Amino acid sequence: MALNSTHYVELCHGSLPNISTLAVAKDEASFLSTPQYKLGITKHFAMGFMLLLALSVVFTTKNHFRPIPTLATILKSVERRAKACAFLLYGLALIQYGFMTSKDGPFEVLTPSNHIVFISSPSQITELEAASGKQLLLYAASLEILQPKYTMHGLDMSNYSSNFARAVRVFLANQLPQLLPPLLVSIRNRIAEMHARDPIADDNVTHPCTSWSGNLFISAGTAIFGEDLANNEAFMKAAFEYIEQVASSAEIIRLAPAFLAPIVGRTVAYFNKRPEILFNSLFPIAEERLRERELVAAGQTVPKHHDLLQYLLDASAKDTPWTPIRLVQEVMAIWLIKGLQMATTAIYDLCLHPEHTAPLRREIAIAERDGDFCASGLPLLDSFIKESTRLSPADCLSTRRQAIAPFSLNDGTHLNVGDWLCTPVAAIAQHYKHFPEPTEFSGFRFVDQSIVEKL
């Protein structure tokens, strides 16, 4: 039986209304506007609010009594929360101010999700690097920043290996003579396509900087994913967008209240299909490579591959217990770490400082003629990228460590569980003590001027 106005009044007041009220409240809709209903709802909300307030003030956990907070405690809590929220708008300025006023000493910055202690002196950075993994952990901080469970197809960063350093610095570097010729052809062809497609103004071709550098970045996919996937436009587009999507999606999840984070994370993962595209495309290749590894161990011959999947396998011990899932996730992590930002900022700085173009072109022409493309053969380009990164770092803080146990520096600075210990890399890199004219762009700052003069 449907509830009539009498039932609604009884539910709200616990008693029957007068006849005049029933005459007005002939149906549910009209009843909701009656003064009796509004008064009843107000009374119930007030009672519920007072009950919750009483419980929150009187009880903590396990029936222990908590003292009523003083006005000073409340104001201090409000001030702390205001400072944390200010980080969202003025984070870089707050770090810069703390670095300038601390005089190489530690200083703290509050964020909505963290309490961060910054250090900049060489001795304290040495302490950070020497800290036990049972006190400070890099991967614990990375878990919070990247939210890999939702943004990176469930990557388990606790099992993340260190083979990537050897794979990139040794195996990939050794393959550069074979990789660079086809890579140069691919980049030249893509540049020609962009020249033909983009508009011409005043006899110059105009390219959007981010999309232009992104297209060139996609051309380098052969070295990471292999030739077949690198030639798959849909896959490489997803790989390009994946980098930005991880950063933006993780930030959304981090800003959500803790109890809502799983719901927000699953929602973000549902709409962000890039990690799924990468994973599903790489997984069958990883399965095949592991089968080939077993065949090689049995003395059989298999095709040779030149991509990051293979370099990771070659860089690891033969008895390393790889699975296809772990192999794919490590490739996705390395692709994210190497990222797009360095290439984008370097191209942007080259547009802003065209006086560096001619020397760089001459250096690259000589290196191409001599077949020497390693960093020692391109000191001007190496210096230019370093200067671009110095003024436009990927992040304003570095060497993140999260305290998983109470930790103290030698000077008495203490970190509680969950606090972060970091270095203000952007502030250090733009300080006059370390670099003359620190805010000025000098592309060849990191190379001997005699080399510049020769070119």
- The structural domains of the chain, with segments of one domain joined by +, span 5-58, 71-135+404-423, 157-339
The C-alpha angle with vertex 381 and arms to 378 and 387, in degrees rounded to 5, equals 140
309 has pLDDT over 70: yes
Mean pLDDT, rounded, for 145-173: 73
Mean pLDDT, rounded, for 114-142: 87
CA distances from residue 63 to 44, 48, 49, 50, 113 in whole angstroms, order as listed? 26, 20, 20, 19, 28
Q: Which carries the bigger pLDDT value, residue 380 or residue 70? A: 380
Residue 25 is which amino acid?
A: A
pLDDT digits (tens, 9 = 90+) for 79-103: 767 777 778 788 888 898 899 998 8
**pLDDT > 90 in the chain, percent:** 19
174 has pLDDT over 80: no
Question: Which of 138, 126, 95, 147 lies closest to 410, judged by CA?
Answer: 126
394 has pLDDT over 60: yes
pLDDT of residue 185: 79
Residue with tokens 């993140």: 400
Mean pLDDT, rounded, for 222-242: 83
pLDDT of residue 64: 46
Most confident of 32-41, 60-69, 85-94: 85-94
**pLDDT > 70 in the chain, percent:** 73
22 has pLDDT over 50: no
312 has pLDDT over 90: no
Measured in Å, how far apart are the chain's first and last C-alpha atoms?
92
pLDDT of residue 6: 36
CA distances from residue 267 to 151, 253, 262, 277 in whole angstroms, order as listed? 11, 10, 8, 17
pLDDT of residue 138: 82
431 has pLDDT over 80: yes
pLDDT of residue 181: 75
